[in-house]
Amino acid sequence: MSYRIGVISGDGIGPEIVAEARKVLDCIGTKYGHTFEYEEILMGGCSIDATGVPLTDEAIAQAKASDAVLMGSIGGNTATSPWYQLEPGLRPEAGLLKLRKSLNLFANLRPAYLYEELKEACPLREDIIGDGFDMMIMRELTGGLYFGERRTEEKDGVITATDTLTYNENEIRRIAARGFDIARKRRRKVTSVDKANVLDSSRLWRKIVEEVAKDYPDVSYEHMLVDNCAMQLVKDPKQFDVILTENMFGDILSDEASMVTGSIGMLSSASLNDTRFGLYEPSGGSAPDIAGKGIANPIATVLSAAMLLRYSLDLDTEADAVEAAVKQVLKDGYRTIDIMPQKAAGASSVKRVGTKEMGDLIVERIEKR
């Protein structure tokens, strides 16, 4: 089969890590008889430099015409980059938010899994790590604070800024159903995270989640307040299977979850709508401080490409092959700097590699299978 893959390389380390994921996809294509046709789509700072805006209508149309989009990362140093002198709606991140909204990508899946081989990179105590953990964060992606009405105004000589957090019941219902669907394919447990002791939007969230839960009697569920969840993620991450939550809470908790698995450089993500289309990107940012140095970890992007194969193209065997190859590379002791062991034990048995080498090592292992 032939597939059209939109590619948003973006800014910072984006182009470097996307190049490795493409290498992996090409290897899968050769091995399993698929053709991937890539189309480069401009978004973020590079789009601002080329067109004056972070996302053009043409870029949205290109994304829509693809079977799926693979993305690296966008944005720059918010303190020093000229992109952040622009008004908020013209900054790099506005492009990503516009793309999510335009394509109705309301369901953001962020798996956080502790690889056996990376236990030494995990900052948690051994007794907390136990035999590891494996959770899926299901983050709502097109509502809440990110898309509510906002304004900054001066009243009686005092500047006041306002952001609003709005959800309607339908938006909550569709993401909750996705969360329970995913839980069914995993360990059948949903933790719905909110701030229902304070927020109206969270009280509605809770009510709708309870309604949806009735359709999934085989899945257990609980409610958890977001501050408690932040604590539980470091105290006892094993308890979580699917974490279902709104946009902003999911943004924060997924960064936290990635760090307890060792590194944000390992965390992939998929943003899905009601069709098979999806946008696949590592959960990490553009890391401008290490851009161009060839040291960024491409694994999150490679694993995002595996999610693309699985969710948008229905190629489970191929996705399994990519994930197995990543596992094997880690088992063989190869590490980018972000996943080098922090604890002294085992430090001598691992080999440090750069971005390209890591991509090559993964490709080699797919070829050998």
Residues found near Mg ion in the complex (CB under 5 A)? 251
The CB density around residue 82, as the number of other CB atoms within 10 Å, is: 10
Residue nearest ligand IPM, CB atom distance: 93
**Which among 304, 297, 310, 263 has a CA at the least distance from the CA of 281?**
304
Rounded to whole angstroms, the Cα distance separating 263 from 123 reads 9
**Which among 282, 302, 274, 285 has a CA at the least distance from the CA of 358?**
302
Q: Based on the residue annotation, tell me whether 23 is a catalytic residue of this protein.
A: no
Catalytic residue of the set 31, 101, 195, 356: 195
Residue 63 structure tokens: 């994304």
Q: Based on the residue annotation, tell me whether 215 is a catalytic residue of this protein.
A: no
Contact partner, 196, from Mg ion, ligand IPM, none, Cβ < 5-8 Å per class: none
Rounded to whole angstroms, the Cα distance separating 307 from 324 reads 13
Q: Based on the residue annotation, tell me whether 11 is a catalytic residue of this protein.
A: no
Output the smallest distance, CB 139 to ligand IPM, in A.
8
With residue 150 as reference, give the H or E element that holds it. Answer: strand 150-155
Rounded to whole angstroms, the Cα distance separating 167 from 150 reads 15
Contact partner, 118, from Mg ion, ligand IPM, none, Cβ < 5-8 Å per class: none
% helix, strand, coil for the chain, step of 5: 45, 20, 35
Query: Smaller CB distance to ligand IPM: residue 241 or 251?
Result: 251
Q: Based on the residue annotation, tell me whether 200 is a catalytic residue of this protein.
A: no
Output the smallest distance, CB 366 to ligand IPM, in A.
27
Contact partner, 171, from Mg ion, ligand IPM, none, Cβ < 5-8 Å per class: none
Residue nearest Mg ion, CB atom distance: 251
Contact partner, 96, from Mg ion, ligand IPM, none, Cβ < 5-8 Å per class: ligand IPM
**Which segments within 252-318 are labelled E, that is strand?**
270-272, 278-280
Output the smallest distance, CB 269 to ligand IPM, in A.
7
Residue type, 73: S
129, with CB counted inside 10 A (0-12, 13-18, 19+), is middle
Query: Smaller CB distance to Mg ion: residue 241 or 251?
Result: 251
Rounded to whole angstroms, the Cα distance separating 264 from 138 reads 17
Output the smallest distance, CB 286 to ligand IPM, in A.
9
Query: Smaller CB distance to Mg ion: residue 67 or 251?
Result: 251
Query: Smaller CB distance to Mg ion: residue 264 or 309?
Result: 264
Contact partner, 93, from Mg ion, ligand IPM, none, Cβ < 5-8 Å per class: ligand IPM
- Helix, strand, or coil here: 241? coil
Query: Smaller CB distance to Mg ion: residue 130 or 285?
Result: 285
Catalytic residue of the set 146, 216, 280, 311: 146
Backbone φ/ψ region at 10: left (φ over 0), alpha (ψ -120 to 50), beta = left
Contact partner, 323, from ligand IPM, Mg ion, none, Cβ < 5-8 Å per class: none
Output the smallest distance, CB 96 to ligand IPM, in A.
6
The CB density around residue 84, as the number of other CB atoms within 10 Å, is: 16
Residue 190 structure tokens: 């949903």
**Which among 325, 337, 354, 367 has a CA at the least distance from the CA of 115?**
325
Residues binding ligand IPM (CB under 6 A): 75, 93, 96, 251, 283
Output the smallest distance, CB 251 to Mg ion, in A.
4
Q: Based on the residue annotation, tell me whether 67 is a catalytic residue of this protein.
A: no
Contact partner, 67, from ligand IPM, Mg ion, none, Cβ < 5-8 Å per class: none
Query: Smaller CB distance to ligand IPM: residue 245 or 328?
Result: 245
Output the smallest distance, CB 93 to ligand IPM, in A.
4
Active-site residues, by number, are 146, 195, 227, 251, 255
